[in-house]
Amino acid sequence: VKIAVDAMGGDHAPCEILKGAVDYARKAAACQNGAAAMGPVEVLLVGDPARIEAELDEAIAHSFSLSPASADGALPRDALNLRIVPAADVIAMDEHPTQAVQEKPDSSLVVSTRLVKEGEAHAAFSAGNTGAVMFAALRLLERVPGIKRPAIATPFPTEVGGRAFVIDAGANVDCRASHLVQFALLGAVYAERVGGVERPRVGLLSNGEEASKGNELTREAHALLARSPLNFVGNVEGNHVFEGSVDVVVCDGFVGNVLLKASEGAVRLTLGLLAAEARREPDEATREVLLRSLLRIRQRVDYSEFGGAPLLGVNGVQFIAHGRSDAKTIATGIGLAVAAARTGYVEAVRDALRDHANSAAAAGAAGA
């Protein structure tokens, strides 16, 4: 498997991106020698070769300083299966997405995605300008035939320890009910293939659990989902997302963005108060306990730790990470993108679309 990593995209690029890529590459190289070997992974670092060269050795040194040669042995750079793919241009975080993609075909962001289109990579990963990544993926990879609107599936933490995938988390603001049904399908196939969940439970985000609750859009989507072959469990409310009672939460991208940002804000507020409690604690040993608790909780609930989210519904694996991702997040995200490529997610979506079409045709015939 080959993964194209946009080395120049993100608030802390290329430094944190390279560190994350190196960390991932080390783990991948170590696994190859282990029992869980799944074939080699080559990480393509896409960007300005001079800048990447200048920072790569430091990233490798950093990685080894954190966890020195241990189980994986002291791997030299050559064994890490990294390759630099030159890209002359960079798209900034605040550039206009469509314009930037059109005007900078040689940017690291666009080249990463083009590598997937041309079969040179099996997945692309970028922490750069989110709108530009989406537009590049839509334009270069194109939609899976039959899919109207590709959507972003963002993992949310749950009380029981798993993840709920919220789709769409921000790609499409104005949606029709048929779009929501496709989001449900895309999310369910993803939760099954990549999340390893059997017959994922799909919930429709609404303002009440009863089928009669919701706005015009969700009431119509509810009726369509109830007739679909998906494992639809009905309406869910914002708090249910965190309870572990559903695997996929469907909503339009406007509402999904509000859900994501509100949750981030509420978590940040709560953890900020815990940090203040720690600062006020006079006893040093107790303060240490508070700070360690804070760190462990943050790892469970901080969205930026989750590694990124896939854009589902395009012909290829495209991951989008938060601009402020650090090395650890990048390493996690690259791993998720590789997993999505390995499990044949895109082919599974095509199969599921065919099944749905057949079942709709059968339902139509039965109704006639």
Token pair listed for 26? 């080390």
What count of other Cβ atoms lies within 10 Å of the Cβ of residue 283? 9
Binding span for a second copy by CB under 8 A among 177-185, 225-233, 268-276, 338-346: 268-276
Q: Does 173 bind a second copy (CB under 8 A)?
A: yes
Q: Does 205 bind a second copy (CB under 8 A)?
A: yes
Q: Does 242 bind a second copy (CB under 8 A)?
A: yes
Residue number, 157 or 335, with CB nearest to a second copy: 157
Q: Does 177 bind a second copy (CB under 8 A)?
A: no
Report the alpha-carbon distance of residue 321 to residue 330 in Å, rounded. 8
Q: Which of 57, 44, 128 is nearest to 86 (CA)?
A: 44
Residue number, 224 or 278, with CB nearest to a second copy: 278
User: Could you tell me the sign of the dihedral formed by the alpha carbons of 174, 176, 179, 180, in that order?
Assistant: positive
- Show Cβ contacts of residue 51 under 8 Å, excluding neighbours closer than 6 positions: 8, 14
Binding span for a second copy by CB under 8 A among 1-9, 185-193, 288-296, 312-320: 288-296
Q: Which of residues 324-353 bind a second copy (CB under 8 A)?
A: none
Q: Could you give the string, one character per residue 127-166, with x where binding to a second copy holds by CB under 8 A and - elsewhere?
A: ------------------------------xxx-------
> Which of 38, 50, 66, 262 is in the footprint of a second copy by CB under 8 A?
262
- Show Cβ contacts of residue 275 under 8 Å, excluding neighbours closer than 6 positions: 294
Task: For the CB of residue 156, give the shortest distance to a second copy in the complex, in Å.
Answer: 9
- Show Cβ contacts of residue 183 under 8 Å, excluding neighbours closer than 6 positions: 149, 151, 167, 168, 250, 251
Q: Which of 258, 3, 274 is nearest to 122 (CA)?
A: 3
> Which of 211, 267, 291, 348 is in the footprint of a second copy by CB under 8 A?
267
Q: Which of 237, 79, 252 is nearest to 170 (CA)?
A: 252
> Which of 261, 279, 324, 354 is in the footprint of a second copy by CB under 8 A?
261
Binding span for a second copy by CB under 8 A among 48-56, 81-89, 232-240, 358-366: 232-240
Q: Which of 209, 235, 304, 319 is nearest to 263 (CA)?
A: 304
Residue number, 20 or 157, with CB nearest to a second copy: 157
Q: Does 180 bind a second copy (CB under 8 A)?
A: no
- Show Cβ contacts of residue 191 under 8 Å, excluding neighbours closer than 6 positions: 165, 197, 200, 247, 248
Q: Does 221 bind a second copy (CB under 8 A)?
A: no
Q: Does 99 bind a second copy (CB under 8 A)?
A: no
Report the alpha-carbon distance of residue 53 to residue 185 in Å, rounded. 42
Kindly list the residues in this chain that would bind a second copy in the complex (CB under 8 A): 157-159, 170, 173-174, 205-208, 214-216, 218, 237-243, 251-255, 257-274, 277, 281, 283, 285-286, 289-290, 293, 296-297, 300-301
